[in-house]
Amino acid sequence: MTGRLYGVGLGPGDPELVTVKAARLIGAADVVAFHAARHGRSVARALAEPYLRAGQVEELLVYPVTTETTDHPGGYQGAIDEFYEAAAARLAAHLDAGRDVVVLAEGDPLFYGSYMHMHKRLAHRYPTEVVPGVTSVTAAAAAVGRPLVERDEVLTVLPGTLPADELAARLAATDSAAVMKLGRTFPQVREAFERAGVLDRALYVERATTDRQRCLPLAEVDPASVPYFSLALLPSPLTPQVTRPAPEAGRPTDAGEVVVVGLGPGARSWTTPEAAEALAAADDLVGYGPYLDRVAVNPRQTRHASDNRVEADRAAHALTLAQQGRRVAVVSSGDPGVFAMAAAVLEVAERPEFTGVPVRVVPGLTAAQAVASRVGAPLGHDFCVLSLSDVLKPWEVIVDRLRHAAAADLVIALYNPRSRHRPHQLGEALRVLLEARPPQTVVVVGRDVGGPEETVRVTALGTLDPATVDMRCLVLVGSSQTRVTPSGAVYTSRSYPR
């Protein structure tokens, strides 16, 4: 007896549009599978979460590529085909063991859905059932309150990836249309509507049925603001538009906010989906110039770059903009709450003139975590984080804390280890640590981790040359339980001698 495969549609985004049958099957399944891009966040899983139960096996199927390039010998298609084969094999192992598998799909499983690739590879081998879901096309029509087709009209569903000429020809030849797969394709899609002579009655719907739904005439859409979960709609010409589409969902224009956002330490893939969402929603971006440079330019937004030593001024500027009704993202590298802008913003927000301005903090991957991951698990046990910068605290306090951390046998992550203005302090710090730690103590130095000039090296406390370290480095000093394996991995044991 094998398990049963279910392709389950979840609808366009509103959890209440998940069908009763879909909810029942999700809760009953042994295995729940769902797709995600490399950031690992699955829209489908988020929709299904209310119906999941404890003890279920979850299979996260992560695409190797989405829109980026790949060095796979078969190119993009080769990488995707290989991924689908491997994903199908993972699900087949569960089915062969008699476990029922539900594959989640936004919208309808067989309507531009990822499930269909599992269906093609598995449905002829195992008992299979497909549970339909509300499509984004019908959800979009409901959102704008316009019929798609009536009487003998023809509805055409088109991918926005078609060439503009072909798209225009098909739009001109149909009564009603829905164009999917927007995002990067939006400029050519808009051009196609204009060539076909139907731009004046075309509508745009983004994230239909969710609390972030946005509807407006296609001609008024800023191309830089278009996400993948959107579509262009050409409603039936037989029903004239009586009212404009619903206004953009979201906060009132007079309600500003400051969101302090952590970009992570370097690579774009280390910026969380929540951080990317906060950046995309902002009207103004405020931050240290090099950090702002890591955020893609959006002509809709105003960027306010400043020097790294004016945190209080930067915070006050962001809060003032929010008082004017602006949505402001204050950009930090790493995590904004670790030697970064979150504390500065909250401290300035305590001033009487900024009472009532909401401040929100979005976390980010820290540099300590990033460097540690490159060598293994040096932060596997208790550790502390210290900054060697004496700009905001006396050097004597830093030395005292170093001595206590060394005596406590903690792994120590040293931020801001050495700058042009403080070239001697790392050497002094190493001498302090050597008072309590043996020279062979493991040390990891990571520089520009996640960036184009990344280097990571493993050395020892007694042999580390301070001159090889700069402000783009983070130094991890191991404890007595930090080890280097024969393969070169570094870890700190989770158990401690009693």
Query: Do 173 and 66 reside in the same domain of the chain?
Result: no
- Helix 186-195 to helix 164-172 angle, to the nearest 10 degrees? 40
Instruction: Check which CATH number belongs to the domain holding 208 and give it.
Output: 3.30.950.10
Report the C-alpha gap between 328 and 362 in whole angstroms: 13
Clarify whether residues 157 and 118 are in a common domain. Answer: no
- d(C-alpha 473, C-alpha 454), whole Å: 10
- Beta carbons within 10 angstroms of residue 152's beta carbon: 6
pLDDT at 255: 63
In a domain, 141, yes or no: yes
Three-class DSSP category at 263: coil
How many separate helices (H) and strands (E) can be counted in the chain?
14, 23
Residue 160 pLDDT: 94
Task: List the structure tokens of 357.
Answer: 């301005």
Q: What DSSP letter does each residue of 302-324 carry, written as one string?
A: EEEEE-TT-HHHHHHHHHHHHHT
Residue type at position 116: M
Q: What share of the chain is helix, strand, coil (3-state, %, to 5)?
A: 35, 25, 45
Q: How many domains are contained in the chain?
A: 4
Note the pLDDT of residue 369.
95
Domain presence at residue 242: no
Please give the pLDDT value at position 198.
Answer: 94
Identify the residue whose tokens are 């991890």: 476
| Amino acid residing at 475 | V
d(CA 158, CA 181): 9
Q: How far is CA 287 from CA 109, 238, 497, in A?
A: 42, 51, 45
Domain boundary among 115, 133, 151: 133
Supply the range of the domain harboring residue 162: 137-234
- For 61, the 3-state DSSP assignment is strand
C-alpha 327/C-alpha 260 separation (Å) is 11
**Structure confidence by residue, pLDDT tens digits, 170-227:** 999 999 999 998 988 999 999 999 999 999 999 999 999 988 899 999 999 999 889 8
313 and 379: one domain? no
Within-domain flag for 373: yes
pLDDT value of position 296: 85
DSSP 296: P
For residue 248, tell me if it sits in a domain.
no
CA distance 189 to 162: 9
pLDDT value at position 228? 85
The per-residue pLDDT for 68 is 64
Residues 117 and 206 in one domain: no
Q: Rounded to whole angstroms, how far apart are CA atoms 264 and 2?
A: 44
DSSP 369-426: HHHHHHHEETTSS-EEEEE---SSS-HHHHHHHHHHHHHTT-EEEEES---SS-TTHH
The pLDDT value given to residue 299: 82
Q: Quickly list DSSP for 446-466.
A: EESTTSTT-EEEEEETTT--G
Q: What is the CATH number of the domain that holds 279?
A: 3.40.1010.10
Q: Do 113 and 16 have their domain in common?
A: yes
Q: What's the angle, vertex CA 282, arms to CA 343 and CA 299, rounded to 5? A: 130
How many C-beta atoms lie closer than 10 Å to residue 123's C-beta? Answer: 15
The residue out of 97, 114, 133 marking a domain boundary is 133
Reported as a single tens digit per residue, the pLDDT across 249-271 is 433 334 689 999 999 987 788 88
Same domain? For 399 and 355 the reply is no
Tell whether 281 is covered by a domain: yes
Contact 478, 442 (CB under 8 A): yes
In a domain, 176, yes or no: yes
First-to-last CA distance in the chain? 51
Among 247, 17, 244, 14, residue whose Cα is nearest residue 145? 244
> Which residues make Cβ contacts (< 8 Å) with residue 212, sequence separation at least 6?
206, 249, 250
106 shares a domain with 149: no
Q: Give the pLDDT of residue 64.
A: 86
Q: Are 418 and 323 found together in one domain?
A: no
Answer yes or no: do 226 and 305 share one domain: no
pLDDT at 19: 96
The reported pTM is: 0.59
Domain identity same for 357 and 390: no
Give me the residues of the chain with pLDDT under 50, please.
242-254
Same domain as 373, residue 358: no
Residue 463 lies in a domain: yes
Domain for residue 11, yes or no?
yes
Name the residue type at position 431.
Answer: R
What DSSP assignment string belongs to 110-177? TSS-THHHHHHHHTTTS-EEEE----HHHHHHHHHT--S--TT--EEEEETTS-HHHHHHHHHT-SEE
d(CA 303, CA 306): 10
Same domain, 51 and 152: no
Last residue of a domain, one of 365, 394, 414: 365
Cα–Cα distance between 338 and 361 in angstroms, integer? Answer: 12
